[in-house]
Structure 1
Amino acid sequence: MTVLSICIPTRNRQIYAMSAVRKMLTCERQDFEIVLADNSDDAAPLAQFVADCRDKRVKLLAPEDQVLSMRANWERIVPETSGEWVSYIGDDDYLDPELCEVIRVTKKTVPNVDALTWGRLYFIWPEARTGPEVTKMPNGSHLVGIKKDDMIRKLFFWEDASDRPKCPFGVYHGSIKRTVLEDIRTTFTGQYFGHPIVDYDNICRTMMVANGFVYFERPMSVFGACKASNTIGLRDEKAAESLIKTFRKEMDGTIEASNFPFPIELGITAQIGHVIESFKQEQGIEITAWEENFIKACARNCESFNNRKAFEARKSAYRRAIKEWRGKDALALFDPKYKYRPDIPPFMGFNNNELSLQMGIGGAESAAEYYGILETMMFPIPLLEGRLQ
Structure 2
Amino acid sequence: MTRLTICIPTRNRQSYAMDAVRHMLASKRQDFEILIADNSDDAIPLASFVAEQKDSRVRLLPPEEKPLSMQDNWERLPQQARGEWVSIIGDDDYLDPELCEALRVTSLRVSNADAFAWGRSYFVWPDARGEREITRVPTGSHLMHMAKKDLMRKMFFWEDAKDRPACPFGIYHGALKKELLDRIRDAFSNRYFEHANPDYDSICKTVMMADFCIYWERPLSVFGACKASNSAGLRDDAVGRERIKTVREESNGELEAANFPFPLELGITASVAHTVEWFKQRYGIELNGWEEGFIKACAGDCESQNDRARFDAKKAGYAAAIKEWRGIKALKQFNPVYRYRADVPKFMGHAEGNLYLDMAIGNAQTAAEYYRLLDGMLFPVHLLESRLNDA
TM-score (norm. length: structure 1): 0.99
Please report how far the alpha carbon of residue 261 of structure 1 lies from its aligned counterpart in structure 2 after TM superposition: 0.6
- What do residues 156-177 of structure 1 show as CA deviations (whole Å, max 9, x unaligned)? 0111111001100000000010
Query: What is the aligned partner in structure 2 of residue 64 from structure 1?
Result: 64
Query: What is the aligned partner in structure 2 of residue 257 from structure 1?
Result: 257
Cα distance in 1 for residues equivalent to 2:46 and 2:71: 20
Query: What is the aligned partner in structure 2 of residue 104 from structure 1?
Result: 104
Query: What is the aligned partner in structure 1 of residue 132 from structure 2?
Result: 132
Q: After the TM superposition, which residues 68-147 of structure 1 pair with which residues of structure 2 at under 5 Å, given as runs? A: 68-147=68-147
Query: What is the aligned partner in structure 2 of residue 322 from structure 1?
Result: 322
Q: After the TM superposition, which residues 347-386 of structure 1 pair with which residues of structure 2 at under 5 Å, given as runs? A: 347-386=347-386
Cα distance in 2 for residues equivalent to 1:77 and 1:176: 13
AA at the equivalent of 1:179 = E
Cα distance in 2 for residues equivalent to 1:137 and 1:256: 33
Query: What is the aligned partner in structure 2 of residue 270 from structure 1?
Result: 270
| Residue 223 (structure 2) pairs with residue 237 (structure 1) | no
TM-score (norm. length: structure 2): 0.99
Please report how far the alpha carbon of residue 82 of structure 1 lies from its aligned counterpart in structure 2 after TM superposition: 0.4
AA at the equivalent of 1:327 = G
Please report how far the alpha carbon of residue 76 of structure 1 lies from its aligned counterpart in structure 2 after TM superposition: 1.0
Query: What is the aligned partner in structure 2 of residue 290 from structure 1?
Result: 290
Cα distance in 2 for residues equivalent to 1:206 and 1:165: 14
- What do residues 25-59 of structure 1 show as CA deviations (whole Å, max 9, x unaligned)? 00011110000000001111111100100000000
Q: After the TM superposition, which residues 177-216 of structure 1 pair with which residues of structure 2 at under 5 Å, given as runs? A: 177-216=177-216
Please report how far the alpha carbon of residue 19 of structure 1 lies from its aligned counterpart in structure 2 after TM superposition: 0.5
Cα distance in 2 for residues equivalent to 1:293 and 1:376: 37
Cα distance in 2 for residues equivalent to 1:149 and 1:378: 30
Can you give the 5+ residue segments of structure 1 that lack an aligned partner in the other structure?
Answer: none
State, as a whole percentage, how many aligned pairs show the same letter: 60
> Over the residues paired in the alignment, what is the CA RMSD in angstroms?
0.6
AA at the equivalent of 2:36 = L
Cα distance in 2 for residues equivalent to 1:341 and 1:23: 38
Query: What is the aligned partner in structure 2 of residue 17 from structure 1?
Result: 17
Can you give the 5+ residue segments of structure 2 that lack an aligned partner in the other structure?
Answer: none
Cα distance in 1 for residues equivalent to 2:282 and 2:332: 30
Cα distance in 2 for residues equivalent to 1:199 and 1:268: 13
The count of aligned residue pairs is 389
- What do residues 271-329 of structure 1 show as CA deviations (whole Å, max 9, x unaligned)? 11111111111111111011011111101111111111111111111111001100111
Cα distance in 2 for residues equivalent to 1:133 and 1:267: 20
- What do residues 81-128 of structure 1 show as CA deviations (whole Å, max 9, x unaligned)? 100000000000000000000000011122211000000110000011
Please report how far the alpha carbon of residue 141 of structure 1 lies from its aligned counterpart in structure 2 after TM superposition: 1.0
Moved over 3 A (4+): none
AA at the equivalent of 1:20 = A
AA at the equivalent of 1:331 = L
Cα distance in 2 for residues equivalent to 1:127 and 1:313: 26
AA at the equivalent of 1:55 = D
- What do residues 322-361 of structure 1 show as CA deviations (whole Å, max 9, x unaligned)? 0110011111000100111010011100001111000000
Cα distance in 2 for residues equivalent to 1:59 and 1:238: 36
